[in-house]
């Protein structure tokens, strides 16, 4: 099923986590058991949301996949290699709640940042940056400074930056959490369009049930203290349109996720 | 047309303010007629400048050199120290307390001691006072700018496999620029104060500090004020240069902040 790049291991799942746990500040008075006994399997092309209340470790789990945090126990494999090897191979890209664009670079050069770090030639970088601006439909803002854009536009630029080097996996940490409801729904539609055009695998952290059900193929429901995966709910609603938001199947899956969240307490 | 209006808008307010302040000063003194040692009117200071023009220009050159070289050295030391303590935890733990301790010393009081080190008539001791006084605000502000980075921007760079040095160059240093320039603008006036006060205790005899103490000692207060005026002009000029450099180095900071 996967839409593999030329050098990708087709057999390997996008993410394979076995028995992972994370303890912050072990042995100290402020020791926190953030994650316990996590098993998670994500196939290429899946869109998986991690949902749960604050403090359930969903962001930590995302950082485990990104190798920004090391597991205290267990294994984390991304595309069949260790998470850190995947990081250094630039197999994935991250989008955060705050767009985190650099004020000192214009929009186009913000998108080029990962390409610069990868040593791309200037002409190639500019070509790709223009393609990405087209993908997020902000071509006319190439020369603008980030401060001149609205929050939603900044986040679209952050997505363009994340997609610029065609990573196989997109890790998103509450990317639309700071946006108003209207902009948020628009961004969700845009994200699904971009995903269907690029067939990228997505791991998406949110605390919005509606967002999780609308976006993903699978919803991993987490429970807090210590963070565990309480349930993984299949969420096959077919191709999404705005009508999906009013679909009975959508609401029944919202209920299923809500029940799982309650059961987790 | 619009360019001329913009120019007028930016220059008119300070010019009006200067006319009002100096005019008022002159007028009040003309009415009150205090003794000359209290405060001479601007016109007398002006004629004192004209009479001692060569001495003031020489003194401004001598002191200006001390100010500029001391300021540059202090900025280099402060910024380098900030980079060092940001890059290395060991450097932070050893050098930051040391810098704080050095700053806690009443630095002007070191003037006579530095004279003993470098020679009573040497400008080196004055430069040293300027360096020691200037480095700290530069160091402390720049270090804050280098560390006060949005955590997700660091994570972003790490997710792209960027190393420590690359993060320093791409994120920390640009992030520290507004902090650095705020400190630099403060440091310009500190440098002027430090140089002139240090000259009260020693250094070259044809410098502004000596001109002020000698004139005051001879009750020629208009000459002393003329020298103070020269020092102020050096300070204003350096401040303007710092503002200009700020605009050249970080144009993004001044780009119009209008949401599209």
Segments making up each domain of chain B, as ranges: 69-210+234-249
Average pLDDT over residues B59-82: 95
**Taking residues B151-174, what's their average pLDDT?**
93
Tell me whether A176 touches chain B (CB under 8 Å): no
The answer, yes or no, to whether the previous bond of B255 is cis (omega within 30 of 0) is no
CA distance B255 to B252: 5
Task: Measure the CA angle with vertex B48, ends B45 and B51; round to 5°.
Answer: 155
Chain A residue numbers touching B165 (CB-CB < 8 A): none
Least confident of A1-15, A219-233, B11-25, B57-71: A1-15
Return the pLDDT at B36.
Answer: 63
For residue B126, give the nearest of B148, B107, B150 by alpha carbon. Answer: B107
Pairing of strands A92-95, A169-173: parallel
More confidently predicted of B257 and B106: B106
Rg from Cα positions in chain B: 23
Would the pLDDT of B3 be above 90? no
Tell me, what DSSP letter sits at residue A227? B
* pLDDT given at position B256: 54
Q: Do B260 and A63 touch (CB under 8 A)?
A: no
Query: Does residue B219 have a pLDDT over 80?
Result: yes
Task: Report the Cα–Cα distance between both ends of chain A, in Å, rounded.
Answer: 36
Spans of all domains in chain A: 9-91+169-176+204-265
**Measured over all CA atoms, what is the biggest interatomic distance in chain A, rounded to whole angstroms?**
54
ipTM of the complex: 0.86
A170 CB neighbours in chain B (<8 A) are none
Which positions in chain B touch A100 (Cβ < 8 Å)? 150, 152-153, 156
Superfamily for domain range B69-210+234-249: MetI-like (1.10.3720.10)
Interface with chain A: mutation pick from B156, B170, B180, highest number of A CBs within 10 Å: B156
* pLDDT digit string, tens, across residues B245-254: 999 998 888 7
**CA distances, B15 to each of A264, B9, B11, B18 (Å):** 70, 11, 6, 5
Q: Is the pLDDT of residue B107 over 90?
A: no
**pLDDT of the residue at B136:** 92
Quick one: fold of A9-91+169-176+204-265? Rossmann fold (3.40.50)
Indicate the range of A120-134, B8-22, B137-151, B153-167 predicted with least confidence: B8-22
Q: What is the pLDDT of residue B115?
A: 86
B161 touches chain A (CB under 8 A): yes
Give residues with Cβ within 8 angstroms of B70, minimum separation 6: B126, B127, B128, B129, B130, B131, B134, B191, B194, B195
DSSP state, residue A225: T
Does the beta-carbon distance from B152 to A96 stay under 8 Å?
A: yes
Contact A99/B at CB under 8 A? no
Q: What is the mean pLDDT of residues B205-222?
A: 89
Q: Which residue has the tokens 């009260």?
A: B200
pLDDT at res. A172: 95
Q: How far apart are CA B64 and CA A112, in angstroms?
A: 45
Q: Distance between CA A198 and CA A169 in Å, rounded? A: 11
Residues of A in contact with B260 (CB under 8 A): 141, 144, 148-150, 153
A94, B156: Cβ pair inside 8 Å? Answer: yes
Instruction: Average pLDDT across each block of 10 residues of chain A; the chain has 265 residues. List them in order.
Output: 46 88 89 90 93 90 93 92 91 92 94 94 94 90 92 91 92 90 88 88 93 94 89 87 88 92 71
Asked whether the predicted pLDDT for residue B7 surpasses 90, the reply is no
Closest CA to B129 of B206, B207, B40: B207
User: Rounded to whole angstroms, how far apart are CA atoms A133 and A164?
Assistant: 10
Compute CA B183 distance to the chain's CA centroid, rounded to the nearest angstrom: 9
Q: What gap in Å lies between CA B121 and CA B102, rounded to an integer?
A: 25
CB proximity B250 to A under 8 Å = yes
Q: What is the DSSP string of A188-201?
A: HHHHHHHHHHHT-E
User: In this complex, is the C-beta atom of A148 within 8 Å of any C-beta atom belonging to chain B?
Assistant: yes
Per DSSP, the three-state class of A231 is strand
Percent of chain B with pLDDT over 90: 53
H or E element, residue A17: strand A15-24
Q: Check if the beta carbon of residue B253 is closer than 8 Å to that of residue B177.
A: yes
**C-alpha distances in angstroms, A238 versus A215, A216, A247?**
11, 10, 11
């Amino acid at each position: 099923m996967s839409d593999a790049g030329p050098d990708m291991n087709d057999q390997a799942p996008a993410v394979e986590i076995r028995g992972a746990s994370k303890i912050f500040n072990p042995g100290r008075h402020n020791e926190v058991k953030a994650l316990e006994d996590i098993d998670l399997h994500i196939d290429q092309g899946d869109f998986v949301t991690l949902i749960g209340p604050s403090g359930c470790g969903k962001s930590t789990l995302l950082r485990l996949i990104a190798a920004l945090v090391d597991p205290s126990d267990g294994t984390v494999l991304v595309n069949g290699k260790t998470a850190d090897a995947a990081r250094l191979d630039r197999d994935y890209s991250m989008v955060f709640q705050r767009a985190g664009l650099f004020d000192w670079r214009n929009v186009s050069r913000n998108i080029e940042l990962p390409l610069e770090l990868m040593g791309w030639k200037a002409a190639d970088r500019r070509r790709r940056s223009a393609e990405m601006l087209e993908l997020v439909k902000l071509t006319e803002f190439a020369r603008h400074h980030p401060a001149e854009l609205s929050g939603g536009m900044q986040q679209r630029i952050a997505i363009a930056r994340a997609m610029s080097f065609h990573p196989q996996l997109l890790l998103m940490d509450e990317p639309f959490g700071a946006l108003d409801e209207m902009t948020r729904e628009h961004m969700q539609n845009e994200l699904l369009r971009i995903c269907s055009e690029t067939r990228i695998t997505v791991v998406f952290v949110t605390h919005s049930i509606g967002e999780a059900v609308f976006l993903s193929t699978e919803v991993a429901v987490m429970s807090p203290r210590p963070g565990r995966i309480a349930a993984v709910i299949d969420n096959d609603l077919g191709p999404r349109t705005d009508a999906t938001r009013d679909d009975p199947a959508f609401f029944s899956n919202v209920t299923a996720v809500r029940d799982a969240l309650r059961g987790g307490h | 047309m619009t360019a001329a209006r913009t120019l007028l808008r930016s220059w008119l307010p300070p010019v009006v303010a200067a006319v009002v302040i100096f005019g008022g000063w002159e007028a009040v003194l003309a009415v009150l007629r205090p003794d000359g040692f209290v405060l001479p009117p601007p016109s007398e200071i002006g004629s004192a400048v004209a009479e001692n023009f060569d001495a003031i220009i020489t003194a401004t050159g001598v002191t200006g050199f001390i100010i500029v070289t001391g300021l540059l050295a202090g900025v280099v030391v402060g910024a380098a120290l900030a980079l060092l303590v940001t890059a290395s935890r060991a450097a932070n733990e050893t050098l930051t307390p040391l810098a704080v301790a050095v700053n806690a010393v009443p630095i002007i009081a070191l003037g006579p001691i530095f004279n003993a080190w470098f020679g009573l008539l040497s400008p080196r001791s004055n430069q040293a006072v300027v360096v020691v006084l200037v480095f700290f605000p530069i160091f402390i502000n720049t270090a804050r700018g280098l560390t006060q980075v949005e955590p997700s921007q660091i994570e972003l760079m790490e997710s792209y496999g960027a190393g420590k040095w690359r993060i320093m160059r791409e994120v920390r240093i640009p992030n520290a620029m507004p902090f650095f320039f705020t400190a630099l603008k403060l440091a310009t006036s500190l440098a002027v104060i430090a140089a002139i006060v240090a000259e009260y205790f020693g250094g070259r005899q044809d410098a502004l500090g000596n001109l002020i103490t000698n004139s005051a000692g001879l009750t020629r207060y208009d000459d002393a004020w003329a020298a103070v005026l020269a020092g102020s002009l050096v300070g204003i000029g350096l401040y303007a240069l710092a503002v200009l450099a700020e605009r050249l180095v970080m144009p993004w900071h001044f780009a119009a902040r209008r949401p599209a």
